[in-house]
A = this chain, B = another copy of it.
Amino acid sequence: MTVLSLRPQAIPGRRERVRKATQRKADELLQTAAALMAEKGFEATAIRDVGRKLDASLAGMYYYFKSKEELLYQIQYRTFASLLQAQQQIAERPGTPKDRLRRLLIGHLTFFTSHPNEMKICTYELESLTGEYYNTVLELRRRYYRLMADLVAQLMTGPARKARASAHSRRVTLFVFGMLNWAFTWYSQAKDGTAEKLGGEMFDLVINGIGLEPLNR
């Protein structure tokens, strides 16, 4: 590393600056769109409104994405991909299945509390996508489902309980997703505490619910 190498980093070329600004604008756009769509739904949100909120022209929006559906797709794809990656890392960290379930629940809720709009859209607007868009996001969703479902199945089919538990675990997984996803409608940091606390309570309910001992903590 010579002193010279500082230059490109310290004084980025115009090209580079422009690229970054554009990227920033695209991100801002996705975020604003997500906020509006989370509030009013995809159908009821007009691209005009997104533009208005950003002081950008309607036509200008189309410089950044090529259709309204593609915008929705971008939101869902990025969010889901990011969630999936984060949760996969969390699941891979060492620990018992119970530990991992607990971390996943908290991880999900943490992600949700920092990106509530995007998560709401992922949860409720998959059906607004069609064709390839739909299939691609559906695939991510399925992988995320499997992550949780495998863990639940593992917990429920421990040594002593093989028999009917496995047939049951699909529904327990879906109960868990129900608890997680419904949180959009009521969660309030003030009333309900942190994602960590909420996730802990959910974990306890489930672990007890399926007849296992909760963690010592």
Contacts and interface: CB of A to CB of B under 8 A. Distances in A.
Query: Interface size for chain A: under 10, 10 to 19, 20 to 34, or 35 or more residues?
Result: 20 to 34
Contacts of A41: 41, 43, 127-128
Nearest to A204: B209
A182 to B, nearest CB: 3
A67 to B, nearest CB: 16
Interface stretch (A7-15, A21-29, A90-98, A173-181): A173-181
A175 B168 contact: no
Contacts of A181: 178, 182
Interface in A127-147: 127-128
Nearest to A41: B43
A205 B210 contact: yes
Nearest to A175: B179
B201 A171 contact: yes
A202 B175 contact: yes
A27 to B, nearest CB: 24
A159 interface: no
Contacts of A172: 201, 205
Nearest to A172: B205
Nearest to A145: B186
Interface in A167-197: 168, 170-172, 174-175, 177-183, 186, 191-192
> Can you list the 6 inter-chain pairs with the closest CB atoms, starting with the nearest?
A178-B182, A209-B209, A205-B209, A43-B43, A178-B179, A178-B178
Interface of A: 41, 43-44, 124, 127-128, 168, 170-172, 174-175, 177-183, 186, 191-192, 198, 201-202, 204-206, 208-211
Given A168-B201, A179-B179, A204-B209, 14 more contacts: A41-B127, A43-B44, A170-B191, A171-B201, A172-B205, A175-B179, A175-B205, A177-B182, A178-B183, A182-B182, A205-B209, A206-B209, A208-B208, A208-B209
